[in-house]
Amino acid sequence: MNLKEAFISALNSIRANKLRASLTLLGIVIGVFSIIGVMTLLDALQKGIDSGLSQLGTNTFQVQKWPVTFVSGPGKWRKYEKRKPITIDEGNRLRELAVLPKLVGLEDWSGGKTVKYGPTQTNPNFQLAGVTSEFLVANNHTVSDGRFFTEDDIKTTRNIAVVGMEVVDKLFPFSSPLDKEIEVDGNRFTIVGVLKAKGENLGQSQDNIVLIPLLTMDKIYGARKNRSINITVSARSKAQLDETMEEVIGLMRQIRKVPPGEDNDFDIFSNESLIREANNFTVYFKYGAGVISFISLIAAGIGIMNIMLVTVTERTKEIGIRMAIGAKRGNILTQFLFEAILLCEIGGVIGIAIGIGVGNLLGTMLNTPVSIPYDWVVIGLIVCSLIGILFGTYPAFKAAKLNPIDALRYE
Question: How much is the pLDDT for 41?
Answer: 77
Query: What residues form DSSP beta bridges with 272?
Result: none
Which of the listed ranges 15-19, 286-290, 303-307, 311-315 does the model predict with the highest average pLDDT? 303-307
Q: How far, in Å, are 126, 167, 197, 208 from residue 205 at the CA level?
A: 9, 11, 10, 6
233 and 61 Cβ atoms separated by less than 8 Å: yes
**What does the alpha-carbon distance between residue 95 and residue 364 come to, in Å, rounded to a whole number?**
43
Please indicate whether residue 39 or residue 240 has the higher confidence score (pLDDT): 240
Q: In terms of Cα–Cα distance, which of 182, 187, 189, 181 is closest to 212? A: 189
Q: Give one DSSP letter per residue of 238-265, joined into a string.
A: GGGHHHHHHHHHHHHHHHTTPPTTSPPS
Query: What residues form DSSP beta bridges with 183?
Result: 116, 188
* Alpha-carbon torsion (42, 45, 49, 51), positive or negative: positive
- Taking each helix axis from N to C terminus, what angle separates 241-255 and 88-97, rounded to the nearest 10 degrees? 130
146 phi and psi angles, rounded to 5 deg = 80, -140
Is the pLDDT at 224 greater than 70? The verdict is yes
Q: Please state, for a pLDDT cut of 90, what percent of the chain lies above it.
A: 31
Is the pLDDT at 10 greater than 70? The verdict is no
Question: How much is the pLDDT for 182?
Answer: 96
pLDDT in tens, 114-162: 999 999 999 999 999 999 999 998 888 899 999 999 989 988 889 999 9
Q: In terms of Cα–Cα distance, which of 242, 240, 245, 267 is closest to 256? A: 267
Exposed/middle/buried for residue 91 (C-beta within 10 Å: 0-12, 13-18, 19+): buried
> Rounded to an integer, what is the distance from CA 45 to the centroid of its chain?
3
Confidence of residue 171 (pLDDT cuts 50, 70, 90): very high
pTM: 0.63
pLDDT in tens, 295-312: 777 877 887 788 778 777
Please indicate whether residue 325 or residue 262 has the higher confidence score (pLDDT): 262
Average pLDDT across the chain, whole number: 82
